[in-house]
Amino acid sequence: MEDKDEFTFSIEGKEYSISEKINRPHESQRQTFHLPSLTIGAIICGVFFAGIFFGSEYISEESGPLLEKQLEKSEDFIEKFDDEKEKAVEITLATFFDNGSPILGNPNAPVTLIEFGDYQCHFCNVHYQNTEHKILKEYVSTGKINIIFKDYTIIGADSTVAALGAHCAAEQGKFWEYHNTLFENYGGENNGWAGQEKIFTFAKKIGLDMEKFIECNVNEYHIEKIAKSNNDARLLGLTGTPAFYVISTNSQQIEYISGAQPYETFERIINTMLEN
């Protein structure tokens, strides 16, 4: 699918236009990460420290067989996980690129910035207000990087309602305009500003076909995409928003940025990747 629209934004009175494309590159590229098994470590440590703490001289003849049976069970459990740990948890580039927004900017840019966010998240709004527009001006509008937004709806039900609204707007080529409208109207957590009624108001404000938008939203056409994006976030071990990944599409180097860091943090990492 190659839907293409222009997303326009203004900084200090100057207008910028960036292409918004739905197709995503690099879906066939794979990168594997092996995540350690904390469970195995906990079991081994538990058995080890039990031996140290109680000591053999404190184990009665009656309790000895019971302890031996417990240790046998633990050994069986550890052996089972030894087999499982060989099956590495696989994180591929699809974990980052799939189940997100249309690409904002040049789809062939050498660097992609991926944000996992929640429209009710305070610090996601801080990033939008303080940093995102500078990134758009310096890197996206110049074709150096592109951006993908992925949902991690962890604050409340309205987080999902807002995310559904953005994806329904994408059907009409206005994901990023709707995305910005949500943050421009940010009102906190779980207080109704991103509820169903408001979602329809925002859609009308940016000129969407309301019949199509309401049908899409009420029937939750994109709920599976949001759920899969949430699963991607959990697979990556994320526990909060916003969370960012800066990815070089040439070297597949990945840098993680946690929280609403200042623009200079993004600038340093992006420039390093562009230089490499």
DSSP secondary structure string, 142-192? TTSEEEEEEE---S-HHHHHHHHHHHHHHTTT-HHHHHHHHHHT---SSSS
Angle between helical axes of 157-170 and 175-184 (0-180°, round to 10): 140
Report residue 53's pLDDT band, with 50, 70 and 90 as the boundaries. Answer: very low
Instruction: Decide if pLDDT at 150 tops 80.
Output: yes
Please calculate the CA angle 185-189-194 and round it to the nearest 5 degrees.
45
Calpha distance 48→92 (Å, rounded): 36
What is the predicted pLDDT for the residue at 8? 55
Domain ranges of the chain: 38-85, 93-275
| Confidence grade of residue 63 (pLDDT, cut at 50, 70, 90) | very low
Q: Out of 16-20, 63-67, 216-220, give the one with best mean pLDDT.
A: 216-220
The amino acid at 31 = Q
**210: region left, alpha or beta (phi > 0 left; psi from -120 to 50 alpha):** alpha
Reported as a single tens digit per residue, the pLDDT across 168-190 is 999 999 999 999 999 999 999 99
Provide the mean pLDDT of the chain. Answer: 80
| Confidence class for position 1, pLDDT limits 50, 70, 90 | very low
For the record, the structure tokens of 43 come out as: 């079991």
The domain defined by 93-275 folds into Glutaredoxin (3.40.30)
Angle between helices 210-218 and 196-205 (to 10 degrees): 150
Instruction: Pick the most confident of 25-29, 69-73, 235-239.
Output: 235-239
Q: List, edge to edge, every strand of the sheet that includes 243-248.
A: 4-11, 14-21, 103-105, 145-151, 111-117, 243-248, 254-258
CB 51 within 8 A of CB 70: no
**Average pLDDT for 187-194:** 97
* Per-residue pLDDT tens digits for 5-14: 565 555 445 5
Q: What is the pLDDT of residue 249?
A: 87
Whole-number percent of the chain with pLDDT over 70: 68
pLDDT tens-digit readout, 252-275: 899 999 999 999 999 999 999 999
State the pLDDT confidence band at 276, using cuts at 50, 70 and 90: confident
Do residues 22 and 83 make contact, with C-beta atoms less than 8 angstroms apart?
no
Q: How confident is the model at residue 67 (pLDDT cuts 50, 70, 90)?
A: very low
